[in-house]
A and B are shown apart, each in its own frame.
Chain A
């Protein structure tokens, strides 16, 4: 639905611009490597978070992204545990498994749902990239 996607685009732009403005305000005096990396990381998280919250809770992938970000510590612990398990059981990764890992929330879905969510996720990712490109272009001029 094109009208839905336009409103997603708008909401994303507002939220992302707001995050950038906040990040820009708290500019640290030092330009150390650590600060640069930290700022890069925060911009990246803000970008994904803005898109997920612009989409809202109606999509499984956006819910998964928001959950991951809001429960960062818990998520990190769970990831550590699952990584140990994966190292022990070497699974041959076929196509559906790769896709499940790439699409947020993809692990617990049936295949049909996964394809559906993937299509929407790709559309939103494209929008995200396009708008970020536009901002970078405007900043560089």
Chain B
């Protein structure tokens, strides 16, 4: 371990240190709801990695499930209310000024112009 550190000091090239990895692992831990609140010394790095994998798999499954529901909803709902739902979601998203440019370019074809005030 000490030889690795002295080597890096000599070569001047930044090597992957234990601290860097520990820092990244703790950042990951903050993102995962299962183990977010536990203290970092109680949760081992391999547990964090394992939970990360499970979390990503869950998110993928959720995307699949939501795509399935969306495809069913688009089939059953008429196009008017589907478009209205999409517009409603767009108005809820926090917009910045330059997104008005997007609106001009894409002009969603709904026949309405939506005025936003940046919040």
Contacts and interface: CB of A to CB of B under 8 A. Distances in A.
- Most chain A CB within 10 A, of B46, B93, B94, is at B93
Interface in B33-78: 46, 49-50, 52-53, 55-57, 59-60, 62-64, 66-75, 77
A31 B75 CA distance: 8
Given A14-B90, A17-B90, A119-B27, A103 B56 contact: yes
Contacts of B81: 139
A25 B69 CA distance: 18
Interface size class of A (residues with CB under 8 A): 35 or more
B57 A39 contact: no
Contacts of B75: 27, 31, 36, 39
Closest 5 CB pairs of A and B: A138-B85, A115-B24, A44-B67, A95-B49, A132-B66
Contacts of B28: 115, 118-119, 122
Contacts of B106: 14, 18
Interface of B: 16, 20-21, 24-25, 27-28, 31-32, 46, 49-50, 52-53, 55-57, 59-60, 62-64, 66-75, 77, 79, 81-86, 88-90, 92-96, 99, 102, 106, 108-109
B16 A129 contact: no
Given A10-B94, A122-B56, A140-B73, A24 B66 contact: no
Contacts of A39: 71, 74-75
Contacts of B109: 21
Given A10-B99, A21-B109, A139 B24 contact: no
10 contacts: A17-B89, A17-B108, A20-B70, A21-B86, A25-B79, A27-B79, A96-B49, A122-B52, A132-B70, A135-B70
Majority DSSP secondary structure for residues of A touching B: helix
Majority DSSP secondary structure for residues of B touching A: helix
A24 B55 contact: no
A40 interface: yes
Contacts of A135: 70, 85-86, 89
B6 to A, nearest CB: 20
A84 B50 CA distance: 26
A133 B62 CA distance: 9
A96 B45 CA distance: 11
A136 B69 contact: yes
Contact of A21 (B46, B69, B83, B102): B83
